[in-house]
Every structure is written in C-alpha cells, then in structure tokens.
C-alpha cells in the first residue's frame, strides 16, 4: 500500500507527503483481520487495547526483524520485515499512524498490525524497513511522535471488516426467558365469610440464551488435570526477553494454549524459551505442533523436560 515519507535536507523544514488515500487501504495482506483485543498482562504490566482515534504520544521507537519474519502478527497477517508496518500495545489492528522521528524530522505513515513493544520506555516497534526509512536502523532506537490517522484508520477498519465480517465486534442480546404462567383456581363462592385462596406456585422462567450470530473460534484447550509429562511445544528461543514476550503475546492472541517463558543458561548467555504446555500425551503434542507451524512458527518443536 502507498505510504508517505518525508525527510529533511539542510535547514529546510520537513515536508510530509500526503497520506495514503482511501483506495490504498484496500491493499491489505491476506490473513489480516480487524482486531482490538482484550486487556492483557505482560511482565506485571497491564495493557488496555481500545479504539482511540485521537491517540498521540511521544517516546522511544525500536524495531524488530529476522526473529519474526514470516510469522503471524497479532491480527493474523504475516510479518514482513522488508515491508512497512509496526507493532503497538493498544491501538486497533489494522490502523494507520504517522510516525515522526524527532531526531531527524523524517515522517512515515505506517500500518499497525501487531502487538508490542513490551518495554516501559518504548511506545512503538517498527519493521526493519520502516526503521531504515525513518533513519534509525543502525542506532536501533529513536525519539518519535506517534499520531493516529483517524480517517485512514476508519477506512482501513471498514475494508478489513468487509473482507471478514465475522470479525466485527458484536454485542449479544440479553437472554430472553420464556414465561410459564400457572392458571389460578376459580374464586371460592362467597357464603358469608371470605376465604383467601393462595395461587399455585409459579414455575421459574426457563432461560433461553440467544447465541451470537457468529460463534467464537474454538481454542485448543490444554487439560489442567492428568499426569504431568514434561511434554511441551517450544515455539521459539531468544537471547532477548523482549522477543520472548512478543512471541508469548502472539500465542496468547491465537488462543492455542497455556504459554510459559522458561529461562535457560547456555554457557555465559541467557536464553528465553517460549513454550506451550505441559501436554498430556504425544497425540496432543503432535496436533498442537501442526497448528503452531500452521501459524508460521516453522522452528517449533516438541520437547520433553
């Protein structure tokens, strides 16, 4: 899709190229859906995703690359480190933000399609290509301003929902109960004294739950009971905790099981292993491994501790 970029030369002020028009938003990668998501917790910090179309913030940007290239993003797209995209902890996916590098004045329009960074001092995680275009690929980080483009983001939302109507947020109707009334006996004849006749007890209403139009996608449940086998799916191993947390959150978004990060000392280095489990038996492990690889985690493997 078209993305605007501007740089500065000498003392001339930076000029921002026009943002992509509505037609450009139709060029969405396959597999991507519109998603906001529920509140979630990473390393003791809670994040609260929302449709905030007035969002603006300043802070530090970073970038991520090879470790996640080709894998699913939080909204189901395939991450392309050579494309222009970004991860944000709370903004809708997809949405469009204008990122300004405050160190050099460069400006870039970027599509949010992933969650992250999970670091207290960083506000956005850009693809490798986006970091190159904004001029901080070598430095690794930069001071930036992030501003959501409300109109472009709403256009993008409409395109995504038109492609995948089942992803549209739905509010289920309140359950309706069928009322079962019990007939009262006829009044007693008046013969000089009034007799009080109690009504027969009414049966409690039978609740009738109205199901939403689209049933939620079933998650792969990992039984909490049963023997502990020490059988896991290892989806990835990283030298940086930041990357392990990103993968942990992606797996949680996919809803495919209980995710844990297990540190491991390898010589003088610390490795952070991201695993699903423990699993009850080999059959469950085989089935879950097939599903995990289907999401692009080709390095996933079955391990036993």
Shared domain for 139 and 40, answered yes or no, is yes
Domain boundary among 163, 184, 200: 163
Shared domain for 108 and 243, answered yes or no, is no
Is the pLDDT at 140 greater than 50? The verdict is yes
User: Domain holding 127: CATH number?
Assistant: 2.40.40.10
Q: Based on the number of CB atoms within 10 Å of its own CB, is 32 exposed (0-12), middle (13-18) or buried (19 or more)?
A: buried
Shared domain for 57 and 142, answered yes or no, is yes
Domain boundary among 139, 163, 187: 163
Total domains in the fold of the chain: 2
The answer to whether residue 250 sits within a structural domain is: yes
**pLDDT value for 156:** 92
The answer to whether residue 249 sits within a structural domain is: yes
Cα torsion for 75, 79, 84, 86, to the nearest 10°? 50
User: Domain holding 274: CATH number?
Assistant: 3.30.70.1070
pLDDT tens per residue, range 36-60:
988 988 888 899 999 999 999 999 9
d(CA 102, CA 104): 6
Domain boundary among 137, 163, 189: 163
**pLDDT value for 187:** 56
User: For the chain, where are the alpha helices, taking DSSP H only?
Assistant: 128-134, 150-163, 241-254, 282-294
The answer to whether residue 197 sits within a structural domain is: no
Shared domain for 33 and 146, answered yes or no, is yes
Look at 238 and 88; give whichever has higher pLDDT. 88
Alpha-carbon distances, residue 251 vs 129, 187, 289 (angstroms): 24, 67, 13
Which of 144-148, 187-191, 258-262 is predicted most confidently? 144-148
**pLDDT value for 184:** 56
Q: How confident is the model at residue 90 (pLDDT cuts 50, 70, 90)?
A: very high
* Residue from 173, 286, 299 nearest 238 by CA: 299
Can you list the pairs that 150-153 forms with residues at least 24 positions away whose Cβ atoms lie under 8 Å?
150/53, 150/54, 152/19, 152/20, 152/22, 152/25, 152/95, 152/96, 152/109, 153/53, 153/92, 153/94, 153/95, 153/96
Put simply, whether the predicted model's pTM sits higher than 0.85 gets the answer no
Q: Which domain holds residue 108?
A: 5-163
Shared domain for 251 and 147, answered yes or no, is no
Identify the residue whose tokens are 């059959």.
283
pLDDT tens per residue, range 225-273:
344 468 999 998 988 888 898 888 888 877 788 899 999 888 888 999 9
**pLDDT value for 242:** 84
Shared domain for 140 and 254, answered yes or no, is no
Q: How confident is the model at residue 296 (pLDDT cuts 50, 70, 90)?
A: confident
The answer to whether residue 20 sits within a structural domain is: yes
The answer to whether residue 190 sits within a structural domain is: no
Shared domain for 148 and 16, answered yes or no, is yes
Shared domain for 244 and 145, answered yes or no, is no
Shared domain for 157 and 275, answered yes or no, is no
The answer to whether residue 217 sits within a structural domain is: no
Shared domain for 142 and 269, answered yes or no, is no
Shared domain for 141 and 281, answered yes or no, is no
Shared domain for 116 and 261, answered yes or no, is no
The answer to whether residue 206 sits within a structural domain is: no
Task: Give the mean pLDDT of the chain.
Answer: 78
The answer to whether residue 11 sits within a structural domain is: yes
């Amino acid at each position: 899709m078209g993305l605007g970029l501007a740089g500065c030369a000498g003392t001339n002020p930076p000029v921002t190229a026009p943002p992509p028009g509505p037609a450009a938003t139709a060029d969405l990668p396959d597999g991507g859906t519109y998603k906001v998501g529920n509140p979630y917790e990473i390393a003791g910090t809670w994040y609260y995703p929302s449709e905030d179309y007035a969002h603006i913030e300043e802070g530090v940007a970073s970038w991520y690359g090879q470790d996640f290239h080709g894998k699913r993003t939080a909204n189901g797209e395939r991450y392309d480190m050579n494309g222009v995209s970004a991860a944000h902890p709370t903004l809708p996916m997809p949405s469009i933000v204008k990122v300004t590098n405050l160190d050099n004045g460069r400006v870039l329009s970027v599509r949010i399609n992933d969650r992250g960074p999970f670091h207290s001092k960083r506000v956005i995680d850009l693809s490798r290509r986006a970091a190159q275009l904004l001029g901080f690929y070598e430095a690794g980080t930069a001071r930036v301003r992030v501003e959501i483009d409300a109109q472009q983001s709403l256009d993008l939302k409409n395109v995504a929902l038109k492609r995948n109507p089942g992803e549209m947020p739905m509010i289920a109707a309140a359950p309706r109960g069928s009322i079962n009334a019990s007939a009262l006996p006829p009044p007693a004849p008046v013969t000089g004294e009034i007799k009080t006749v109690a009504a027969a007890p009414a049966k409690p209403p039978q609740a009738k739950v109205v199901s939403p139009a689209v049933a939620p996608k079933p998650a792969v449940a990992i039984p909490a009971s049963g023997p502990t086998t020490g059988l896991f799916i290892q989806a990835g191993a990283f030298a940086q905790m930041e990357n392990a947390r990103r993968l942990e959150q992606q797996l949680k978004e996919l809803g495919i099981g209980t995710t844990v990060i297990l540190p491991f000392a390898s010589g003088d280095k610390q490795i952070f292993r991201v695993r699903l489990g423990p699993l009850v038996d080999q059959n469950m492990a085989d089935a879950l491994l097939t599903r995990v690889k289907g999401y692009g985690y080709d390095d996933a493997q079955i391990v036993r501790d």
